[in-house]
Amino acid sequence: MNKVAGLLLAAGTSSRMGQPKQLLPMGGLGLLDRVLEQVLHSDLDLVTLVLGFKAREIRRGMRTDLGHPKLKVIQNTRYQEGISSSIIAGLSAVEDEYDHVMVILGDMPYVTSGLINLLLHRYLASHFPLGAIRIKEKRSHPAIIGRPFYPELHRLEGDMGARSLFEKHPDQVCLVEATESHEDMDIDTLEDYLKYKEALGDDPI
């Protein structure tokens, strides 16, 4: 069985932005809507959206149909413990039925369904238990983890994510080169947001 669930992480407090960045408008959609739309159009079997900080406000502000048949929305009540808590919450919701999870960050607007599919299919063909996008000679996101490493994911702590797995097991990683047009920018600050809006040709705030 090679069923793969996406874990779309969007539970953070947006502390460097000063407001919930999940709802920041860009190109006619909020940031999280923009990423979620791409993830839902990918070949992933399921998408688990992990919310946390101001989850109710974010749900109300989103335009995506949260009743989409391929979407499961969960709440991470321990979001203040960092990204590891969101990975664990998402994994706990899918691990019985899905043998692989792809971790996707909700603040990376350049992630497309094409990029997700490229990683997904190259990873599955490789038969390695770990996979990630590589851009400009460095490992980036999304990343994908197979069942053999689920126990290690459950032991993650703090705000480090799954980086330690990839560093400990480099010989078990399928790295997939991103297309030349891909950027791995994330939106953390107002400056990041304005830069991305400018690239989109959007009006400034």
Domain boundaries, the chain: 4-200
Class of domain 4-200: alpha beta
Closest residue by Cα to residue 123 from 106, 105, 142: 142
State residue 49's pLDDT score.
98
DSSP 8-state secondary structure symbol assigned to residue 84 = H
How far does CA 55 lie from the centroid of its chain? 17
Closest residue by Cα to residue 22 from 124, 100, 119, 105: 105
Cβ–Cβ < 8 Å for 103, 7: yes
Model pTM?
0.93
Give me the residues paired with residue 5 across strands: 46, 101
CA dihedral (106, 55, 53, 21) positive or negative: positive
User: Residue 149 and residue 61: Cα distance in Å, rounded?
Assistant: 35
Peptide bond into 142 cis (omega under 30): yes
Residue position matching structure tokens 């607007």: 109
CA angle (68, 69, 72) in 5-degree steps: 75
Tens of pLDDT, residues 72-131: 999 999 999 999 999 999 999 999 999 999 999 999 888 999 999 999 999 999 999 999
Q: Token digits for 115?
A: 């990029």
Residue position matching structure tokens 């791995």: 184
State residue 1's pLDDT score.
65
Closest residue by Cα to residue 59 from 11, 18, 111: 11
> What parts of the chain have a pLDDT lower than 50?
205
State residue 69's pLDDT score.
95
Closest residue by Cα to residue 33 from 106, 86, 90: 106
Q: Token digits for 194?
A: 């304005």
Cβ–Cβ < 8 Å for 197, 26: yes
* 29 phi/psi in degrees, rounded to 5: -135, 155
